[in-house]
Amino acid sequence: MAAEIGLLNEDCRTKFQYLASKFASLLHGRSECDRQQINSLFDELNALDIKSPLVGISDDAILIINRCTSIVPSTDTFLVAKGCQLISNLITKQHVKVEGKTLSIAIRWCTQSLKYCGDVAIVDILLAFQALLRRNGSNVEEQMDELAGANGALTLLLEYGNQPNRKKDGLILASPWEVHLMAIECFESLVFPPDPPAEQLKLKYLEACAQVFLKQLYSEKHPEQEELVYCKVLIASLRGLQNILQQSRDLLKQLLGEALGMVKTYMLYGLQGYTDLRPQQVFPANLFLYDIRQTALHDGTGGKSVRVKKRNLQRQKKSDSTTNRNVEDGGRKNHSSPIPTQSFCAYTFRDSAHNMMATESSLETSLYPVWLKTSDSDFSDTEAGQAAKNRVTQGRVRKSALSLLITVTKVCDRKLLFGYWSSLLPDGPNMFQAPTLCTSLLKDPSPHSRMLVPQSLILMLTGSRLYLSQAEKSSKSSIPFTPFSVTIGNMVRELHQSLCLALPMENSIPVITQLLKCLAALVQNTPYHRLEPGLITRVVRNVKPHLRHKDSDVQVASLTVLGSIVAVEPSTPEITDILCKSSISSRQKHCDTGLIPESEYKMCRDHDGEKCQQPGSNQDADYEDELEDGTDAFVDCISTDVNNQMSWLLEVCLRNLQPSSLKEGIRTVNAGGGAVFLPCSAPVRVECLQVLTVLARNYYTQVISSHIGQLMQLLGQTLSDGNVTICLHSGRVIEALGNSMQQCLQEQGGTTGVSLDKNLQFWQTILSGPLISLVQNAEQAALRAAGCDCLATIGTGVFEQLPVICI
């Protein structure tokens, strides 16, 4: 079968080369006979299996495009349509790169054809335009005024149907709104990031295209416009704006407020209760407005900018109040948009950027291919199918808006973006009243959109410790205004609340992983000593069940969150109390304070008709009991002092580092009534070693010192592991232990269980084990360096007491 397909493809390539040579021999058609010959060649070329590789040498395809744009008059509607089909197929399906003089000639030919051809060819011309312009914006700057100027060919198509001078032929294959959509997609192709990135459109052209996209995003849906077409216009506009802001930092600073306003509106597009939102520009927080005003005054711009910004701030406050009233009113209305179900969530992963591209069709029976056929054809034509199609496309709008936010967060200066946090994050308990990222996280039915929210939050939180360090809890005394530091504290608290609310009711593994990574980033940048207690307790209680998740990435992310908690500085009594609890004591206090109120769970999204699980419910309780039963069995295997209970986090790390022979019968889960062994993957073991390193550095006396024997036994095994990364992190654990023991011995003189004899015994055991082989490793320089770092922490007092055989 494969041989037959290969022979068939070879026949197609041979035929393509023959037709290309025959096409190259044509002269400019001056008779009806020549026109028929050109038409016949177009039919034969378009009838080939365009999906299979036909173009062995791109020169043949370039020659065809060159001859097509030279011999076909731009006034011949039907030949132009067939020629454009061939051009778009060669570029999009055969990956032919058109550049230089051929590109300029083809663009000019398509532009002239738009002016003089009948409407029957307009869709094929626009498809060819999209293929020619993609990644070639900087190569057609000489023709930009003719394309996207005030009277440019693409600009005029944005008002298609209202042009009295257009030549009408009585035949049209697309509605005016579909032509409008394709014109927007041509603008999107025009600003697509070039390769190499250094060659991009000039700033004035990027700004003109940005205004085109913003105009579409500000415009309301026309009554006669289909929802599906309108959503695709929004998607193309959001993607085009994303491409522009990615290429120009100057435009990003200029359009940041408007871009974030679009994100804030369209990240909730189509969700029930938020259908009345209208896009509007957002402004930074008052503190940052003050800084901008001071800068403007020092720059000599006078007081005019101050008055303008004050008026803008007043208008923003007024519009915000109007928006809130609209949202409240919208929540009381019966919205017609149905609630999406899981059966349609899979379609959100499809890319609609090429939905309007030409596909293969028989040209002997029809003049045109089914160029309007898209992935939406997977749905039925019934009313339910159309509604499902609309829901999926609305989900793509939300995804495009969140992708725009991710791009803005990557490119924008962190200090500048921080002023807009109050527009994107909730700062009060009523998180569902105003549109925020947390609203999208908790109410969006698409797992892909829900995954983009924590990704954007991770980018926002990374490196924001300096700005979040001013967060503080609100004072009990009544004051006439809310300080900015309290507002930041409220945002941090609501972020904890939202992430802990989303984690237990999430069923998508990639989303769970991103949520845990987001929690880790939040923990690393939160000043817990300035906030009210209870936040860490809430995080630990929601993360702990995922330590035994079937997916290793989820386990690693859970350990990362816990490691971030251990690394918090300065530490708080709440963190110390949590880490010092044993598994038995934590089980007895399984339902203590720190849980999210049950009333708030009633406000979460109804995902696939399933009830949201509350942390601490029977399901989570069984899950945590299973975890603790395993740790109890682990303690029975390795602990010699039953009265000296081990911290639950230390138990988890040591259990995951145990070899298979000791773990068998301990790390099991119920599956079909039987016991299943779940071995730890290398990333999980590495993460456990990292957690142990931080525990040894920050909580040696409280957590580690009483169980140093068990830890030394395991470290001796992990230092001999065949995985280099595990050996390296094992050496770092020993280095942290050595530093902590030496510091405790110097500061407290052995009063906390770190005596000189115990320290000496530790090093005698380590030096008689595989640590020396680590130092003598001739293949891995990193392992030798780690071994030397361990030896450097022995200390003078211990070194002098070591036997000669150890030295």
Please tell me the predicted confidence (pLDDT) of residue 163.
56
Give the Cα separation of 493 and 534 in Å (integer). Answer: 10
Assigned token pair, 554: 């989820």
Assigned token pair, 736: 């942290």
Where b means 16+ CB within 10 Å and e means fewer, 755-783 reads eeeebbebbbbbbebbbeebbebeeeeeb
Higher pLDDT, 800 or 402: 402
The gap between the terminal CA atoms of the chain, to the nearest Å, is 71
**pLDDT band, very low/low/confident/very high, at 55 (cuts 50, 70, 90):** low
Q: What is the pLDDT of residues 610-649, one digit of tens each?
A: 333 433 344 444 444 444 444 443 433 333 343 468 999 9
**pLDDT band, very low/low/confident/very high, at 416 (cuts 50, 70, 90):** very high
Please tell me the predicted confidence (pLDDT) of residue 573.
95
Give the Cα separation of 578 and 596 in Å (integer). Answer: 18
Over residues 297-319, mean pLDDT: 42
Higher pLDDT, 31 or 468: 468
Range scoring the smallest mean pLDDT among 164-168, 171-175, 195-199: 164-168
Please tell me the predicted confidence (pLDDT) of residue 150.
85
Over residues 323-336, mean pLDDT: 38
Please tell me the predicted confidence (pLDDT) of residue 56.
63
Over residues 197-216, mean pLDDT: 90
Total residues found in the chain within this entry: 807
Assigned token pair, 365: 């029976």
Say which DSSP state 299 is in.
T
Please tell me the predicted confidence (pLDDT) of residue 229.
94
26 pLDDT above the threshold of 60: yes
Percentage of residues in the chain having pLDDT higher than 70: 71
Taking alpha carbons only, the member of 273, 368, 375 closest to residue 328 is 273
Mean pLDDT of the chain: 77
Q: What is the pLDDT of residues 344-396, one digit of tens each?
A: 232 222 233 333 333 333 322 333 333 333 445 555 557 778 889 999 999 99
Higher pLDDT, 218 or 669: 218
Give the Cα separation of 28 and 760 in Å (integer). Answer: 95
461 pLDDT above the threshold of 50: yes
Q: Find the DSSP H helices in 699-723.
A: 708-718
Higher pLDDT, 500 or 605: 500
Global confidence as pTM = 0.80
Range scoring the smallest mean pLDDT among 164-173, 304-313, 428-437, 597-606: 597-606
Higher pLDDT, 622 or 803: 803
Residue type, 551: D
**pLDDT band, very low/low/confident/very high, at 737 (cuts 50, 70, 90):** very high
Range scoring the smallest mean pLDDT among 405-414, 480-489, 787-796: 480-489
Give the Cα separation of 265 and 277 in Å (integer). Answer: 6
Please tell me the predicted confidence (pLDDT) of residue 325.
39
DSSP letters for 140-179: GGGGHHHHHSTT-HHHHHTTTT--TTSPP-S--SS-HHHH
302 pLDDT above the threshold of 50: no
Please tell me the predicted confidence (pLDDT) of residue 756.
83
Q: What is the pLDDT of residues 418-446, one digit of tens each?
A: 999 999 999 877 666 788 999 999 999 99
312 pLDDT above the threshold of 50: no
Residues 193, 243 contacting (CB under 8 angstroms) = yes
